[in-house]
Amino acid sequence: QVQLVESGGGVVQPGRSLRLSCAASGFIFSNYGMHWVRQAPGKGPEWVAFIWSDATDYVDSVKGRFTISRDNFKNTLYLQMNSLRAEDTAVYYCARGPTGRLDVWGQGTTVTVSS
Amino acid sequence: EIVLTQSPGTLSLSPGERATLSCRASQSVSSSYLAWYQQKPGQAPRLLIYGASSRATGIPDRFSGSGSGTDFTLTISRLEPEDFAVYYCQQFGSSPPWTFGQGTNVEI
């Protein structure tokens, strides 16, 4: 069945880096735009980044620090997070994004930025 | 950036009652690009409605969406026990960021 599985979360000190991965299965990965969405504790979801073919977009708060990428041969989405801040602490979800919606979500991976 | 404001913040209802949730945008959003999600504690959001009024795969017909321009509504015709959750709207306007509303908590 269609599935997304995130990994790579953990506890990291401010200023350090982390790379998240999202393994996709059950659909033709290369045919879809893909997103990262995060949710801070007790807050609503926040859209973070998007990739479709060679095009990428980011929310302003992560521009210059985060990089979204994909490997269509490995059916995997990535989020490289550098210069992490306390406010980046959240559950990070990858999601499949046909036009105008996020129709499949992973279970999420938790990132905690703390000294 | 398009800001989505959801109301009410909390809706206290009983099973069998009708729930009406509002999502208001700070500028016009194409109906094709307004979605609703349901989230239960400890779970990822689940797509309910896209294109303002189209139900996602497997979503019961007690869920319906409507609206255009800056005002959108999610209606749950008869609440089932499993419908008590937080609901978010999201817009996919002409350019990012593709923002979410702050959510409506539907509680018993």
Are B45 and A105 within 8 A, CB to CB?
yes
Using a CB–CB cutoff of 8 Å, tell me whether A93 touches chain B.
Answer: yes
Torsion-angle region of B97 (φ positive above 0: left; ψ -120 to 50: alpha; else: beta): beta
What is the pLDDT at residue B31?
79
Tens-place pLDDT, residues B24-62: 999 999 878 999 999 999 999 999 999 999 999 999 999
Chain B: residue whose CA lies nearest to A43: B102
Chain A: residue whose CA lies nearest to B31: A100
What is the pLDDT at residue A80?
98
CA nearest neighbour of B5 among B89, B106, B84, B64? B89
CA nearest neighbour of A109 among A38, A27, A13, A24? A38
What is the pLDDT at residue A53?
86
The residue whose two tokens read 């990070």 is A92
- DSSP-derived secondary structure letter, A73: T
Distance CA A65, CA B99 (A): 20
Distance CA B87, CA B59 (A): 14
- Check whether B96 has a pLDDT greater than 90: no
3-state secondary structure of A86: helix
Cβ-nearest to A100 among B33, B100, B102:
B33
Using a CB–CB cutoff of 8 Å, tell me whether A100 touches chain B.
Answer: yes
Are B92 and A93 within 8 A, CB to CB?
no
Torsion-angle region of B84 (φ positive above 0: left; ψ -120 to 50: alpha; else: beta): beta
Amino acid at B15: P
Helix (H) or strand (E) holding A23: strand A18-25
Cβ-Cβ pairs closer than 8 A, A with B, add up to 63
Tens-place pLDDT, residues A28-65: 999 999 999 999 999 999 999 999 988 999 999 999 99
Cβ-nearest to A103 among B56, B101, B102:
B56
Extract the tokens encoding B17: 């009652």
Cβ-nearest to A47 among B32, B100, B103:
B100
